[in-house]
A = this chain, B = another copy of it.
Amino acid sequence: MFSMLEFAKQAKQASVQTAILNEAQKNQALKDMAQALRDSTKKIVEENKKDLNAAKENQLSDAMIDRLMLNPERVEAMASAIEQIASFPDPVGEIRKRRVLDNGLDVAKMSIPLGVIAMVYEARPNVTADAAALCLKAGNAVILRGGKEALHSNLAIAAALHQALERNHINQGAISVVPDPDRKHMNEMLTLTDYIDLVIPRGGEGLIKFVTKNSQIPVIQHFKGVCHLYVDKHADVEKALKILLNGKVQRPGVCNSLETFIVHKDIAETFLPMAARALEDNDVKVHACKKSIGYFSNAEAATDEDYDKEYLALEIAVRQVDSFDQAIAHIQQFSSGHTEVIVSEDKQRAQAFIKNINSAVVMANASSRFSDGGELGLGAEIGISTSKLHAYGPMGVESLTTEKFVVIGEGQTRE
Protein backbone atom coordinates (compact mmCIF):
# COMPACT_ATOMS: atom_id res chain seq x y z
CA MET A 1 0.00 0.00 0.00
CA PHE A 2 1.20 3.48 -0.83
CA SER A 3 2.66 5.38 2.14
CA MET A 4 3.12 9.11 1.68
CA LEU A 5 5.44 9.21 4.68
CA GLU A 6 7.79 6.56 3.24
CA PHE A 7 7.65 8.31 -0.11
CA ALA A 8 8.72 11.63 1.45
CA LYS A 9 11.46 9.93 3.46
CA GLN A 10 12.89 8.46 0.25
CA ALA A 11 12.89 11.91 -1.33
CA LYS A 12 14.68 13.34 1.68
CA GLN A 13 17.30 10.61 1.51
CA ALA A 14 17.78 11.21 -2.21
CA SER A 15 18.16 14.93 -1.57
CA VAL A 16 21.29 14.28 0.49
CA GLN A 17 22.85 12.75 -2.63
CA THR A 18 21.56 15.31 -5.15
CA ALA A 19 22.84 18.15 -2.94
CA ILE A 20 26.47 17.10 -3.46
CA LEU A 21 26.35 16.30 -7.18
CA ASN A 22 28.74 18.56 -9.02
CA GLU A 23 27.84 20.67 -12.04
CA ALA A 24 29.07 18.14 -14.62
CA GLN A 25 27.19 15.29 -12.95
CA LYS A 26 23.94 17.23 -12.86
CA ASN A 27 24.24 18.39 -16.46
CA GLN A 28 25.03 14.88 -17.70
CA ALA A 29 21.95 13.55 -15.90
CA LEU A 30 19.83 16.32 -17.42
CA LYS A 31 21.05 15.59 -20.94
CA ASP A 32 20.31 11.92 -20.39
CA MET A 33 16.85 12.83 -19.12
CA ALA A 34 16.17 14.75 -22.33
CA GLN A 35 17.32 11.79 -24.42
CA ALA A 36 15.30 9.32 -22.35
CA LEU A 37 12.16 11.38 -22.98
CA ARG A 38 12.83 11.30 -26.71
CA ASP A 39 13.45 7.55 -26.61
CA SER A 40 10.19 7.03 -24.71
CA THR A 41 8.02 9.18 -26.98
CA LYS A 42 5.90 6.28 -28.15
CA LYS A 43 5.20 5.00 -24.65
CA ILE A 44 4.49 8.50 -23.29
CA VAL A 45 2.02 9.28 -26.09
CA GLU A 46 0.32 5.92 -25.53
CA GLU A 47 -0.09 6.51 -21.82
CA ASN A 48 -1.27 10.04 -22.51
CA LYS A 49 -4.03 8.54 -24.72
CA LYS A 50 -5.43 6.82 -21.63
CA ASP A 51 -5.64 10.16 -19.85
CA LEU A 52 -7.19 11.79 -22.91
CA ASN A 53 -9.81 9.08 -23.24
CA ALA A 54 -10.75 9.40 -19.58
CA ALA A 55 -10.86 13.18 -19.95
CA LYS A 56 -13.28 12.90 -22.85
CA GLU A 57 -15.44 10.42 -20.93
CA ASN A 58 -15.49 12.81 -18.00
CA GLN A 59 -16.36 15.66 -20.38
CA LEU A 60 -13.46 17.91 -19.42
CA SER A 61 -13.35 21.21 -21.30
CA ASP A 62 -11.55 21.49 -24.64
CA ALA A 63 -9.03 23.86 -23.05
CA MET A 64 -8.30 21.30 -20.34
CA ILE A 65 -7.94 18.53 -22.89
CA ASP A 66 -5.58 20.67 -24.94
CA ARG A 67 -3.39 21.30 -21.89
CA LEU A 68 -3.37 17.58 -21.19
CA MET A 69 -2.52 16.41 -24.70
CA LEU A 70 0.96 15.17 -25.59
CA ASN A 71 2.18 14.40 -29.12
CA PRO A 72 5.71 13.80 -30.42
CA GLU A 73 6.26 17.55 -30.91
CA ARG A 74 5.31 18.28 -27.33
CA VAL A 75 7.56 15.52 -26.01
CA GLU A 76 10.40 16.99 -28.08
CA ALA A 77 9.64 20.41 -26.58
CA MET A 78 9.95 18.94 -23.07
CA ALA A 79 13.27 17.33 -24.00
CA SER A 80 14.76 20.49 -25.42
CA ALA A 81 13.57 22.52 -22.42
CA ILE A 82 15.58 20.14 -20.22
CA GLU A 83 18.65 20.61 -22.44
CA GLN A 84 18.27 24.35 -22.05
CA ILE A 85 18.16 23.96 -18.26
CA ALA A 86 21.36 21.90 -18.45
CA SER A 87 23.05 24.87 -20.14
CA PHE A 88 22.36 27.29 -17.24
CA PRO A 89 25.11 28.11 -14.74
CA ASP A 90 25.08 25.97 -11.58
CA PRO A 91 23.13 27.84 -8.88
CA VAL A 92 24.74 25.81 -6.07
CA GLY A 93 28.08 26.46 -4.33
CA GLU A 94 28.36 30.17 -5.05
CA ILE A 95 30.26 32.07 -2.33
CA ARG A 96 28.79 35.47 -1.39
CA LYS A 97 29.45 38.28 1.07
CA ARG A 98 32.78 36.88 2.20
CA ARG A 99 34.64 38.87 4.83
CA VAL A 100 37.22 38.41 7.56
CA LEU A 101 36.11 39.57 11.01
CA ASP A 102 38.36 41.30 13.54
CA ASN A 103 38.85 38.02 15.41
CA GLY A 104 40.19 36.42 12.22
CA LEU A 105 37.09 34.36 11.42
CA ASP A 106 36.55 34.01 7.67
CA VAL A 107 32.77 34.29 7.19
CA ALA A 108 30.83 33.84 3.94
CA LYS A 109 27.50 32.65 2.63
CA MET A 110 27.25 29.75 0.21
CA SER A 111 24.26 28.88 -1.99
CA ILE A 112 22.89 25.40 -1.29
CA PRO A 113 19.85 23.40 -2.41
CA LEU A 114 16.61 23.79 -0.46
CA GLY A 115 16.33 20.01 -0.07
CA VAL A 116 13.00 18.47 -1.04
CA ILE A 117 10.47 20.44 -3.08
CA ALA A 118 6.88 19.35 -3.59
CA MET A 119 5.13 20.60 -6.73
CA VAL A 120 1.33 20.54 -6.74
CA TYR A 121 -0.17 21.19 -10.16
CA GLU A 122 -3.06 20.44 -12.43
CA ALA A 123 -3.44 19.04 -15.90
CA ARG A 124 -0.24 20.00 -17.74
CA PRO A 125 2.05 16.95 -17.91
CA ASN A 126 4.97 19.06 -19.20
CA VAL A 127 5.27 20.53 -15.69
CA THR A 128 6.44 17.07 -14.61
CA ALA A 129 9.52 17.19 -16.83
CA ASP A 130 10.18 20.92 -16.32
CA ALA A 131 9.96 20.85 -12.55
CA ALA A 132 12.02 17.67 -12.29
CA ALA A 133 14.80 19.23 -14.36
CA LEU A 134 14.78 22.58 -12.56
CA CYS A 135 14.81 20.96 -9.12
CA LEU A 136 17.66 18.62 -10.05
CA LYS A 137 19.65 21.51 -11.54
CA ALA A 138 19.47 23.20 -8.14
CA GLY A 139 20.45 19.98 -6.32
CA ASN A 140 17.00 19.25 -4.93
CA ALA A 141 14.81 16.16 -4.86
CA VAL A 142 11.26 16.74 -6.08
CA ILE A 143 7.90 15.19 -5.27
CA LEU A 144 5.47 15.75 -8.13
CA ARG A 145 1.78 15.72 -7.33
CA GLY A 146 -0.01 16.47 -10.58
CA GLY A 147 -3.70 16.28 -11.33
CA LYS A 148 -5.30 12.86 -11.42
CA GLU A 149 -6.40 13.56 -15.04
CA ALA A 150 -2.72 13.42 -16.05
CA LEU A 151 -1.55 10.53 -13.90
CA HIS A 152 -0.77 8.04 -16.67
CA SER A 153 1.15 10.70 -18.58
CA ASN A 154 3.06 11.83 -15.50
CA LEU A 155 4.03 8.29 -14.55
CA ALA A 156 5.23 7.58 -18.09
CA ILE A 157 7.35 10.75 -18.07
CA ALA A 158 8.78 9.85 -14.66
CA ALA A 159 9.59 6.33 -15.87
CA ALA A 160 11.66 7.81 -18.68
CA LEU A 161 13.43 10.23 -16.34
CA HIS A 162 14.19 7.38 -13.94
CA GLN A 163 16.08 5.54 -16.69
CA ALA A 164 18.37 8.54 -16.93
CA LEU A 165 18.77 8.77 -13.16
CA GLU A 166 19.72 5.09 -13.07
CA ARG A 167 22.30 5.51 -15.81
CA ASN A 168 23.82 8.29 -13.69
CA HIS A 169 23.65 6.36 -10.40
CA ILE A 170 21.29 8.91 -8.88
CA ASN A 171 18.79 7.75 -6.27
CA GLN A 172 15.35 7.31 -7.90
CA GLY A 173 13.81 9.24 -5.01
CA ALA A 174 15.26 12.39 -6.56
CA ILE A 175 12.24 12.57 -8.90
CA SER A 176 9.01 10.97 -7.78
CA VAL A 177 5.44 11.20 -8.98
CA VAL A 178 2.81 10.52 -6.31
CA PRO A 179 1.19 7.40 -7.81
CA ASP A 180 -2.08 7.54 -5.86
CA PRO A 181 -4.31 10.53 -6.65
CA ASP A 182 -6.35 10.18 -3.45
CA ARG A 183 -6.50 13.63 -1.91
CA LYS A 184 -5.76 12.28 1.56
CA HIS A 185 -2.16 11.64 0.46
CA MET A 186 -1.74 15.25 -0.64
CA ASN A 187 -3.20 16.44 2.65
CA GLU A 188 -0.72 14.26 4.52
CA MET A 189 2.12 15.48 2.30
CA LEU A 190 1.39 19.09 3.28
CA THR A 191 2.09 18.24 6.94
CA LEU A 192 5.45 16.50 6.45
CA THR A 193 7.62 19.38 7.65
CA ASP A 194 10.49 17.04 8.60
CA TYR A 195 10.92 15.83 5.02
CA ILE A 196 9.74 18.54 2.65
CA ASP A 197 11.22 22.05 2.58
CA LEU A 198 8.98 23.89 0.14
CA VAL A 199 5.66 23.45 -1.64
CA ILE A 200 5.02 25.20 -4.95
CA PRO A 201 1.43 25.08 -6.19
CA ARG A 202 0.92 25.86 -9.86
CA GLY A 203 -2.57 26.26 -11.18
CA GLY A 204 -5.84 28.05 -10.51
CA GLU A 205 -6.61 30.23 -7.51
CA GLY A 206 -8.61 27.42 -5.87
CA LEU A 207 -5.63 25.09 -5.86
CA ILE A 208 -3.28 27.75 -4.52
CA LYS A 209 -5.69 28.75 -1.74
CA PHE A 210 -6.20 25.10 -0.80
CA VAL A 211 -2.48 24.45 -0.55
CA THR A 212 -1.83 27.67 1.40
CA LYS A 213 -4.59 26.91 3.86
CA ASN A 214 -3.58 23.32 4.47
CA SER A 215 0.20 23.34 4.25
CA GLN A 216 2.41 23.44 7.32
CA ILE A 217 5.37 23.52 4.94
CA PRO A 218 6.33 26.92 3.49
CA VAL A 219 4.46 27.68 0.26
CA ILE A 220 5.41 29.99 -2.58
CA GLN A 221 2.24 31.46 -3.96
CA HIS A 222 1.26 33.05 -7.18
CA PHE A 223 -2.16 34.58 -7.00
CA LYS A 224 -3.53 36.81 -9.70
CA GLY A 225 -1.76 39.45 -11.76
CA VAL A 226 -3.69 42.73 -11.86
CA CYS A 227 -1.05 44.75 -13.70
CA HIS A 228 -1.35 48.54 -14.04
CA LEU A 229 -0.06 51.02 -16.59
CA TYR A 230 0.16 54.66 -15.48
CA VAL A 231 0.43 57.19 -18.29
CA ASP A 232 2.00 60.22 -16.63
CA LYS A 233 1.48 63.81 -17.74
CA HIS A 234 5.06 63.76 -18.99
CA ALA A 235 4.52 60.59 -21.03
CA ASP A 236 5.57 60.15 -24.63
CA VAL A 237 2.10 59.22 -25.87
CA GLU A 238 3.39 57.12 -28.76
CA LYS A 239 5.40 54.98 -26.35
CA ALA A 240 2.43 54.84 -23.99
CA LEU A 241 0.11 53.63 -26.75
CA LYS A 242 2.56 50.95 -27.89
CA ILE A 243 3.00 49.75 -24.30
CA LEU A 244 -0.75 49.77 -23.68
CA LEU A 245 -1.51 47.68 -26.75
CA ASN A 246 1.36 45.29 -26.20
CA GLY A 247 0.27 44.82 -22.57
CA LYS A 248 -3.40 44.21 -23.34
CA VAL A 249 -3.63 42.75 -26.81
CA GLN A 250 -0.53 40.68 -27.53
CA ARG A 251 -1.47 37.83 -25.19
CA PRO A 252 -4.36 38.78 -22.92
CA GLY A 253 -4.64 35.38 -21.19
CA VAL A 254 -1.42 35.61 -19.18
CA CYS A 255 -0.73 37.11 -15.77
CA ASN A 256 1.62 39.85 -17.01
CA SER A 257 -0.96 41.35 -19.34
CA LEU A 258 -2.45 44.74 -18.39
CA GLU A 259 -5.80 44.90 -16.61
CA THR A 260 -6.04 48.63 -15.83
CA PHE A 261 -4.56 51.79 -17.23
CA ILE A 262 -4.49 55.10 -15.43
CA VAL A 263 -4.00 58.43 -17.16
CA HIS A 264 -3.03 61.81 -15.73
CA LYS A 265 -5.65 64.51 -16.40
CA ASP A 266 -3.14 66.85 -18.08
CA ILE A 267 -2.51 64.36 -20.85
CA ALA A 268 -5.97 62.75 -20.97
CA GLU A 269 -7.25 64.88 -23.83
CA THR A 270 -4.33 63.85 -25.99
CA PHE A 271 -3.97 60.24 -24.92
CA LEU A 272 -7.50 58.99 -24.31
CA PRO A 273 -8.78 59.52 -27.90
CA MET A 274 -5.72 57.65 -29.24
CA ALA A 275 -6.21 54.87 -26.71
CA ALA A 276 -9.96 54.66 -27.37
CA ARG A 277 -9.42 54.26 -31.11
CA ALA A 278 -6.70 51.65 -30.72
CA LEU A 279 -8.60 49.61 -28.14
CA GLU A 280 -11.71 49.72 -30.31
CA ASP A 281 -9.72 48.57 -33.34
CA ASN A 282 -8.59 45.59 -31.27
CA ASP A 283 -12.08 44.79 -29.92
CA VAL A 284 -11.07 45.50 -26.33
CA LYS A 285 -14.00 45.98 -23.96
CA VAL A 286 -13.54 49.03 -21.72
CA HIS A 287 -14.67 49.77 -18.14
CA ALA A 288 -14.09 53.50 -17.68
CA CYS A 289 -14.34 55.95 -14.78
CA LYS A 290 -16.70 58.93 -14.94
CA LYS A 291 -14.00 61.32 -16.15
CA SER A 292 -12.75 59.10 -18.94
CA ILE A 293 -15.91 57.35 -20.12
CA GLY A 294 -16.81 60.11 -22.57
CA TYR A 295 -13.75 59.34 -24.69
CA PHE A 296 -14.96 55.80 -25.44
CA SER A 297 -17.81 55.03 -27.80
CA ASN A 298 -18.93 51.90 -26.03
CA ALA A 299 -17.49 51.75 -22.49
CA GLU A 300 -19.21 50.61 -19.32
CA ALA A 301 -18.93 52.55 -16.06
CA ALA A 302 -16.10 51.07 -13.98
CA THR A 303 -16.75 49.81 -10.46
CA ASP A 304 -14.26 48.89 -7.73
CA GLU A 305 -14.86 45.26 -8.66
CA ASP A 306 -13.71 46.06 -12.20
CA TYR A 307 -10.50 47.61 -10.87
CA ASP A 308 -9.89 44.52 -8.76
CA LYS A 309 -10.35 42.05 -11.58
CA GLU A 310 -7.88 39.96 -13.54
CA TYR A 311 -9.69 39.89 -16.89
CA LEU A 312 -7.29 37.59 -18.76
CA ALA A 313 -9.27 38.66 -21.84
CA LEU A 314 -9.64 41.58 -24.25
CA GLU A 315 -11.08 43.75 -21.52
CA ILE A 316 -9.55 46.64 -19.56
CA ALA A 317 -10.41 49.16 -16.85
CA VAL A 318 -9.53 52.86 -17.24
CA ARG A 319 -9.13 55.58 -14.66
CA GLN A 320 -8.27 59.26 -15.08
CA VAL A 321 -6.48 60.79 -12.07
CA ASP A 322 -5.83 64.36 -10.98
CA SER A 323 -2.32 63.76 -9.75
CA PHE A 324 0.66 61.43 -9.56
CA ASP A 325 -0.22 60.69 -5.92
CA GLN A 326 -3.73 59.64 -6.90
CA ALA A 327 -2.27 57.21 -9.42
CA ILE A 328 0.00 55.72 -6.74
CA ALA A 329 -2.92 55.45 -4.32
CA HIS A 330 -5.05 53.66 -6.92
CA ILE A 331 -2.33 51.14 -7.62
CA GLN A 332 -1.64 50.59 -3.92
CA GLN A 333 -5.32 49.92 -3.36
CA PHE A 334 -5.87 47.51 -6.24
CA SER A 335 -2.45 46.03 -6.93
CA SER A 336 -2.00 42.28 -6.77
CA GLY A 337 1.73 42.82 -6.20
CA HIS A 338 2.65 41.54 -9.66
CA THR A 339 3.78 44.23 -12.16
CA GLU A 340 3.15 47.96 -12.57
CA VAL A 341 4.41 50.32 -15.30
CA ILE A 342 4.84 54.07 -15.55
CA VAL A 343 5.29 55.82 -18.88
CA SER A 344 6.98 59.18 -18.35
CA GLU A 345 9.85 61.09 -19.90
CA ASP A 346 10.46 62.73 -16.52
CA LYS A 347 13.14 60.62 -14.85
CA GLN A 348 12.38 61.94 -11.37
CA ARG A 349 8.74 60.96 -11.66
CA ALA A 350 9.73 57.54 -12.97
CA GLN A 351 12.06 57.13 -9.97
CA ALA A 352 9.34 58.29 -7.58
CA PHE A 353 7.00 55.68 -9.06
CA ILE A 354 9.66 53.00 -8.65
CA LYS A 355 10.27 54.06 -5.07
CA ASN A 356 6.60 54.19 -4.07
CA ILE A 357 5.33 51.01 -5.66
CA ASN A 358 6.51 47.78 -4.07
CA SER A 359 5.05 45.29 -6.50
CA ALA A 360 7.33 42.42 -7.51
CA VAL A 361 8.21 44.11 -10.80
CA VAL A 362 8.14 47.88 -11.27
CA MET A 363 8.87 49.27 -14.73
CA ALA A 364 9.37 52.59 -16.45
CA ASN A 365 8.71 52.89 -20.20
CA ALA A 366 8.55 49.16 -20.95
CA SER A 367 5.78 46.64 -21.51
CA SER A 368 4.43 44.63 -18.57
CA ARG A 369 4.78 41.60 -20.86
CA PHE A 370 8.53 41.59 -20.04
CA SER A 371 7.66 40.57 -16.47
CA ASP A 372 8.69 36.97 -17.01
CA GLY A 373 11.69 34.92 -15.91
CA GLY A 374 12.87 34.21 -19.44
CA GLU A 375 12.48 37.83 -20.58
CA LEU A 376 14.31 39.18 -17.52
CA GLY A 377 17.26 36.86 -18.08
CA LEU A 378 16.58 34.26 -15.38
CA GLY A 379 16.42 31.30 -17.77
CA ALA A 380 13.45 28.98 -17.33
CA GLU A 381 10.81 30.20 -14.94
CA ILE A 382 9.54 28.15 -11.99
CA GLY A 383 6.68 30.56 -11.45
CA ILE A 384 6.01 34.13 -10.40
CA SER A 385 5.73 34.73 -6.69
CA THR A 386 3.33 37.41 -5.50
CA SER A 387 4.11 36.63 -1.86
CA LYS A 388 7.18 38.41 -0.56
CA LEU A 389 9.00 35.75 1.41
CA HIS A 390 12.06 34.07 -0.16
CA ALA A 391 11.19 34.98 -3.74
CA TYR A 392 9.16 37.88 -5.11
CA GLY A 393 8.37 38.12 -8.79
CA PRO A 394 9.63 35.82 -11.57
CA MET A 395 11.53 32.89 -10.04
CA GLY A 396 14.49 31.31 -11.77
CA VAL A 397 16.34 28.21 -10.71
CA GLU A 398 18.24 30.29 -8.11
CA SER A 399 15.02 30.56 -6.11
CA LEU A 400 15.21 26.80 -5.53
CA THR A 401 18.32 27.38 -3.41
CA THR A 402 19.00 28.95 -0.04
CA GLU A 403 22.24 30.09 1.67
CA LYS A 404 24.22 28.68 4.57
CA PHE A 405 26.94 30.45 6.54
CA VAL A 406 30.44 29.06 6.16
CA VAL A 407 32.86 30.03 8.95
CA ILE A 408 36.54 29.11 8.90
CA GLY A 409 38.74 29.73 11.93
CA GLU A 410 42.04 28.72 13.46
CA GLY A 411 40.73 27.53 16.81
CA GLN A 412 38.87 30.68 17.89
CA THR A 413 36.56 30.44 20.89
CA ARG A 414 34.16 32.99 22.31
CA GLU A 415 35.11 35.09 25.34
* C-alpha spacing A387/B199, complex, angstroms: 13
Q: Is the CB of B250 within 8 A of A414?
A: yes
A107 and B377 form a contact (CB under 8 A): yes
Taking a contact as CB atoms under 8 Å apart, the answer to whether A212 and B197 are in contact is: no
Q: Are B370 and A412 in contact (CB under 8 A)?
A: yes
Q: Is A179 an interface residue (CB 8 A)?
A: no
In angstroms, Cα B20 to Cα A20, docked, is 42
A173 to B361, CA, bound (A): 26
> How far apart sit A392 and B387, CA to CA, in the bound complex (Å)?
18
Bound together, the chains give a CA A414 to CA B369 distance in angstroms of 6
Within residues 231 to 245 of chain A, which ones have a CB less than 8 A from any CB in chain B?
236, 238-239, 242-243, 245
Report the copy number of this chain in the oligomer. Answer: 2
Partner of A389, one of B114, B350, B356: B114
Q: Does A130 contact B (CB under 8 A)?
A: no
Known: A404-B359, A405-B376, A407-B376. Is A367-B193 also a contact (CB below 8 A)? no
B407 and A362: CB pair below 8 A?
A: yes
- Judging by beta carbons under 8 Å apart, are A19 and B358 in contact? yes
Smallest Cβ-Cβ distance to A238: which chain B residue: B411
- Are the C-beta atoms of A363 and B246 separated by less than 8 Å? no
Q: Chain A residues in contact with chain B, CB under 8 A?
A: 16, 19-20, 93, 99, 101, 105, 107, 110, 112-115, 193, 197-198, 212-213, 216, 218-219, 236, 238-239, 242-243, 245-246, 250, 332, 343, 350, 354-356, 358-367, 369-371, 375-377, 387-390, 392-394, 402-414
Closest 8 CB pairs of A and B: A366-B409, A239-B411, A246-B413, A369-B414, A390-B390, A218-B389, A363-B407, A361-B405
- Known: A365-B408, A367-B413; 4 extra A-B contacts, CB below 8 A, are A105-B376, A370-B412, A376-B405, A389-B389
